[in-house]
C-alpha cells in the first residue's frame, strides 16, 4: 500500500532510533516486543524523542503524547506535514508557528476519526442486522475519511483565497461546526 514510504525514525517512552536508510518495521517491532524498547535495535543512531520531532522529514507523526509540539520547539520542526495521531500533540501556539512556516498540520480530530467512524459502521450493521466484509468496511471508511479530508482542504483553500489566513485546524473546525448546524436544521431543532 505504501511502498514508496520510508520510515526513518521511531520512538517509545525510552527514546528513539534513526536511520537515514530506513527502518525495517518487522525487525524493529520484534525488538520492541522482545526487549521492551525500540532503542535496543542495533546499528542505528539513538536519538531523544525531542530530536525525533526536529528531524528533516516529509511527514512527522506524533502518535503518543499530547503537547509534544509546543511554542518552544515548533520553530525547529522541519517536517512539511504533521499528521496528528495522538490526541492534542500540538499546542495552539505551536499550531500557529507551524502554519506560518508553511507546515500542513492534519489535526487529530480529523486524522483519528477512523476508529470512531468504524464503530459507527458496526452500530449501523448491528441495528440493521446485516454485516459487511472487510473490503466493504474499508472502502466505506476510505471514502468517508477521504471526503472529510478533502472537505477540510477545500475549506482551507476557499478561506485562504478570500484573504483569510486560516490554518488546517480552523478549516476542520469550520467543516465540523457546519455539519452539526446542518444536522440540527435537518432535524428541525433550529
pLDDT in tens, 58-88: 999 999 999 999 999 999 999 999 999 999 9
Instruction: Map residue 156 onto helix, strand or coil.
Output: helix
- Cβ atoms of 72 and 92 within 8 Å: the answer is no
Mean pLDDT of the chain: 95
Provide the pairing of β-strand 81-83 with 104-106.
parallel
pLDDT in tens, 79-129: 999 999 999 999 999 999 999 999 999 999 999 999 999 999 999 999 999
Residue 190: what pLDDT? 82
The cell for 184 is 440540527
Task: Kindly list the distances between the CA atom of residue 189 and the CA atoms of 100, 185, 186, in Å, as whole numbers in the listed order.
Answer: 39, 6, 8
Phi and psi angles of residue 120, each rounded to the nearest 5 degrees, phi first = -60, -45
Residue 188: what pLDDT? 93
Amino acid at each position: 500500500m505504501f511502498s514508496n514510504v520510508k520510515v526513518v525514525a521511531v520512538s517509545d517512552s525510552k527514546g528513539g532510533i534513526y536511520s537515514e536508510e530506513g527502518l525495517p518495521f518487522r525487525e524493529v517491532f520484534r525488538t520492541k516486543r522482545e526487549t521492551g524498547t525500540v532503542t535496543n535495535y542495533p546499528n542505528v543512531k539513538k536519538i531523544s524523542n525531542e530530536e525525533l520531532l526536529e528531524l528533516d522529514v516529509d511527514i512527522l507523526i506524533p502518535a503518543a503524547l499530547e503537547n509534544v509540539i509546543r511554542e518552544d520547539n515548533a520553530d525547529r520542526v522541519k517536517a512539511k506535514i504533521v499528521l496528528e495521531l495522538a490526541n492534542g500533540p500540538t499546542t495552539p501556539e505551536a499550531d500557529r508557528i507551524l502554519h506560518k512556516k508553511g507546515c500542513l498540520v492534519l489535526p487529530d480530530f480529523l486524522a483519528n476519526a477512523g476508529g470512531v467512524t468504524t464503530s459507527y459502521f458496526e452500530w449501523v450493521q448491528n441495528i440493521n442486522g446485516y454485516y459487511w466484509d472487510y473490503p466493504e468496511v474499508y472502502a466505506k471508511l476510505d471514502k468517508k475519511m477521504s471526503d472529510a479530508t478533502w472537505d477540510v482542504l477545500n475549506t482551507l483553500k476557499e478561506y485562504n483565497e478570500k484573504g483569510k489566513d486560516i490554518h488546517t485546524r480552523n478549516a476542520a473546525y469550520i467543516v465540523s461546526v457546519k455539519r452539526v448546524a446542518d444536522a440540527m436544521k435537518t432535524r428541525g431543532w433550529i
